[in-house]
Amino acid sequence: MTLPSTLGELKSSEYNEKRLRRVCVKDEMRENLIAKLRRDETIFPGIVGYDDTVVPQIINAILSRHNFILLGLRGQAKSRILRQLVNLLDERIPVIKGSEINDNPCAPISKYARLRIEEHGDKTPVEWIARDARYVEKLATPDVTIADLIGDLDPIKAARGGHLLSDELTIHYGLLPRANRGIFAINELPDLAGKVQVGLFNIMQEGDIQIKGYPIRLPLDVMLVFSANPEDYTARGKIITPLKDRIGSEIVTHYPASVEEGMEITRQEAWTKRDERLTIPEFLMRTVEQIAFEARQDQRVDKRSGVSQRLPISVLENVTSNAERRCLLTGEDKIVPRISDIYAALPAITGKLELEYEGEQRGAANIARELIKAAVGKTFAAYFEHIDCAEIIAWFNNGGALRLADTDGTELCMASFRRVNGLMEAASASRLTADNHAITVAVCELILEGLCAQKKISRSEERGYAAAKAESRAPGYESFSRSRRIN
């Protein structure tokens, strides 16, 4: 279908008369949302865990034609939700060709568009813009000015066109007017200087803006949406009270309510589809996700800052990479991450933790190791609650010792694990191994690390397993380690 290219063609086309005359983007979003709800479509694809909490509140805000703000800690999909709002806009809309502010051909607001229509009439050129071009986003920073958002007078335009500075044709439009008939999003709103926040008052209440004090009224049609972190209210700035009062709905986001929801998000977002030989055991996914849950509950981690969902995503990617590195070194054809690979992913954890004073004294790396240990302990308990590991503990208590490296190949690890009485039997009883040696090694590591977490055996930082609370290395440890190094 050929789209109309002039105002006359547009008026005589089959383009919906109601849509042509409508000038309110909030009505457009409301109608399209209602249509999606009637068709039972997913409103925000890829957003997990918000179906019964955040999404209904956003739907209510849009149905109420509200400007709204998403308030939540980092890593809670606020920006992703705002960007998906474009799916509630029409696929494309007509505008006066050359207009910087998307003038409606039937209701132009800029002097440029009005002059074009006066000059060309029904032959005024019309172009169509896609919904993606109607979304404008700005990250708020303290150096953002009124001119950036609203606009300024351009002396060069005035000189070239022979206009007075007070002429509307001399305006250099800011981001907000350029979002006319669309969505304007401001991320981290509290970082915006107070005097700039004041500049948003008119557009939110009266629906117009003024530039440089000249009586130029632009009745913009914009859906305003914001995001903010509660920490920002005290750390870097605040949302001024009059602006908060003009925001129709304040919607609070949250982290995943369950480990299963977190796993679904991490599985969706992490870059793990890099090699067809890769298999990530479910228990390892659970352990990685549990780290974030442990961190969010740890008193040594700053609750105001939060623990982003990016933590388990980055950890899983690093875990996968360490397993990939091991396979490259050993020449094996199966890539299966193990618990030891999680310890190798410390760099993906330490940079994402904002620590309280006690945590700073302990050190980010030590806190991260303790979080991993706690996560492994809970995962081990979930899978091995009814499996007897007494024989394994007895083997270490009787002087058995074991030392592994995260670069040891599968068969080398299997040979070591077979020495430990009861270990292979416990792994088999868990029904996690699936007759796959690489996965069996990962399960055996889970058992050993789980027993360490429960303080039933001990482990050194060099990954030497021994009896619990041993003040020195168990008998035979040194000779066994030496033989491993020789082999």
Please give the average per-residue pLDDT across 147-154, as a whole number: 80
- Predicted confidence at residue 484, as pLDDT, reads 35
pLDDT at 215 exceeding the cut of 80: no
pLDDT at 87 exceeding the cut of 70: yes
10's enclosing H/E stretch is helix 7-12
Nearest CA to 256 out of 68, 41, 51 is that of 51
Task: Tell me which of 6-15, 280-289, 419-428 is least confident.
Answer: 6-15
Please give the average per-residue pLDDT across 374-399, as a whole number: 93
Please give the average per-residue pLDDT across 172-192, as a whole number: 91
Q: For residue range 294-352, what is the model confidence (pLDDT) as tens digits?
A: 999 999 999 888 899 999 999 999 999 999 999 999 999 899 999 999 999 999 999 99
Which one is predicted more confidently, 472 or 76? 76
- Predicted confidence at residue 294, as pLDDT, reads 96
pLDDT at 480 exceeding the cut of 50: no
Q: What is the DSSP string of 189-223?
A: GGGS-HHHHHTTHHHHHTS-EEETTEEEEE---EE
Under DSSP, the state recorded for 301 is: B
pLDDT at 170 exceeding the cut of 80: no
Task: Tell me which of 68-82, 85-99, 426-440 is least confident.
Answer: 426-440
pLDDT-based confidence at residue 127 (cuts at 50, 70, 90): very high
- Predicted confidence at residue 17, as pLDDT, reads 59
Please give the average per-residue pLDDT across 47-64, as a whole number: 96
Residues 6+ apart with CB under 8 A from 465: 396, 401, 402, 403, 404, 448, 452, 457, 458, 459
Structure tokens at 287: 């352990």
- Predicted confidence at residue 159, as pLDDT, reads 64
Structure tokens at 119: 């000059």
Rounded to the nearest 10°, the torsion over CA 396, 401, 407, 410 is -60
- Predicted confidence at residue 214, as pLDDT, reads 66
- Identify the three-state secondary structure at position 308: coil
- Identify the three-state secondary structure at position 356: coil
Please give the average per-residue pLDDT across 32-37, as a whole number: 96
- Predicted confidence at residue 204, as pLDDT, reads 78
Q: What is the DSSP string of 371-404?
A: HHHHHHHHHHHHHHTTS--HHHHHHHHTT--EE-
With b for 16 or more beta-carbon neighbours within 10 A and e for fewer, the 377-415 pattern comes to bbbbeebbeebebeebbebbeeebbbbbebebbbebbbe
Structure tokens at 470: 């041993």
Phi/psi for 458 (5° steps) reads: -120, 165
- Predicted confidence at residue 145, as pLDDT, reads 87
> What architecture does CATH give domain 7-252?
3-Layer(aba) Sandwich (3.40)
Structure tokens at 284: 């390892």
Please give the average per-residue pLDDT across 411-425, as a whole number: 94
Percent of the chain past pLDDT 90, that is, above it, reads: 61
pLDDT at 487 exceeding the cut of 60: no
pLDDT-based confidence at residue 469 (cuts at 50, 70, 90): low
- Predicted confidence at residue 476, as pLDDT, reads 41
pLDDT at 477 exceeding the cut of 60: no
- Predicted confidence at residue 275, as pLDDT, reads 87
With b for 16 or more beta-carbon neighbours within 10 A and e for fewer, the 165-196 pattern comes to eebbebbebbbbbbbbbbbbbbbbbbbbbeeb
pLDDT at 475 exceeding the cut of 70: no
State how far the Cα of 159 lies from the Cα of 442, in Å rounded to an integer: 73
Give the angle 319-324-329 at the CA atoms, nearest 5°.
125
- Predicted confidence at residue 368, as pLDDT, reads 95
Please give the average per-residue pLDDT across 456-461, as a whole number: 86
pLDDT at 15 exceeding the cut of 80: no
Task: Tell me which of 156-165, 182-191, 421-430 is least confident.
Answer: 156-165
Phi/psi for 171 (5° steps) reads: -75, 135
State how far the Cα of 61 lies from the Cα of 267, in Å rounded to an integer: 30
- Predicted confidence at residue 171, as pLDDT, reads 78
Ranges in the chain annotated CATH 3.40.50.300: 7-252
Which one is predicted more confidently, 24 or 479? 24
Task: Tell me which of 1-5, 275-279, 323-327, 469-473 is least confident.
Answer: 469-473
Structure tokens at 41: 């479509």
pLDDT-based confidence at residue 446 (cuts at 50, 70, 90): very high
Which one is predicted more confidently, 205 or 253? 253
State how far the Cα of 352 lies from the Cα of 357, in Å rounded to an integer: 16
